[in-house]
Amino acid sequence: WTDLGAWPLDNSTGNNWVDFMKSLPANAPGKQAYQEFIKAWKDDGTTSQDEAFLRLIAREYFRIVGTANRKYDPDHLIFGDRFSFQTFDPAIAKEMLPYVDAIAIQPYFMESFPQQKLDEIHACTGKPILLCDFAIRFQDGDKNIYAWKLADDSVAAGKAYAEYVKAALNTSYILGVFWCNPVDTPKGFGKSGVKQGFFSDGLADRPGLHDAVKALNDYRDKKTPVAVGVHTP
């Protein structure tokens, strides 16, 4: 529903939904909802006033969007909001759980499979996980490529990616992994640099990377064979 929504009260945008509601004019529905909340709120010693109101915002948002999604698109898996490790908030995620089939996580763009963090999210939600917009970024000539950690080259990236996805397949809860960006594009959001693609210029193969992924696909097919009678594209 939202790509990496800035749910935590303290987040990288410098803004949050609670402060936004507080800043609205007195006649705005959001401000009125906040005033009604303040009147009814009782301090139980476990949650701050702002945290409790943030959870109320999430509850209403997920209820409205989730109910509509299920009603008008009942035949597809619903993943809801996409989270990163920085934006995942257990209290917020729990408000989303009644309306989703699985959790979408965008992990760090780095080689090591984050087993512990993913285990924690799975234990918290009890839902399968889809790893979204993930890639192993690597050194690519003089291109300005930002990532948590760059692999030395496409060969090293292919090896690391195969190991990463195999680790995901060996969990009991990862549904799948998909690569972020098929071709090089501008970074976007006013940032300089390149958002690196899976293919090189002209859709050319990346040395080592594509061979590793093809071998990985063979491993995947053996690990998770398609059931007889199931249609695949």
- The predicted structure's pLDDT at residue 24: 96
Bridge partners of residue 176, in order along the sequence: 130
Q: For 8-12, 74-78, 144-148, which range has the lowest pLDDT when averaged over its residues? A: 144-148
CA 171 to chain centre: 18
- The predicted structure's pLDDT at residue 225: 73
pLDDT at residue 96 tops 60: yes
Where residue 203 falls (left for φ over 0; alpha for ψ -120 to 50; beta otherwise) is left
Strands 82-84 and 174-179: unpaired
Whether 73 contacts 100, CB under 8 Å: no
CA 207 to chain centre: 28
- The predicted structure's pLDDT at residue 229: 61
d(CA 140, CA 127): 37
pLDDT at residue 233 tops 60: no
Each residue's pLDDT tens digit, 99-134: 999 999 999 877 789 999 999 999 999 999 999 988
- The predicted structure's pLDDT at residue 35: 95
Whether 163 contacts 136, CB under 8 Å: no
Whether 162 contacts 145, CB under 8 Å: no
- The predicted structure's pLDDT at residue 228: 61
| Mean pLDDT along residues 219-233 | 72
pLDDT at residue 219 tops 70: yes
Each residue's pLDDT tens digit, 20-43: 999 999 999 999 999 999 999 888
Grouping H, G, I as helix, E, B as strand and the rest as coil, residue 130 is: strand
68 or 202, which is more confident: 68
pLDDT at residue 146 tops 80: no
Grouping H, G, I as helix, E, B as strand and the rest as coil, residue 30 is: helix
Strands 174-179 and 129-134: parallel
| Mean pLDDT along residues 57-80 | 96
d(CA 220, CA 21): 47
pLDDT at residue 223 tops 80: yes
Quickly state the pLDDT bin for 61 (edges 50, 70, 90).
very high
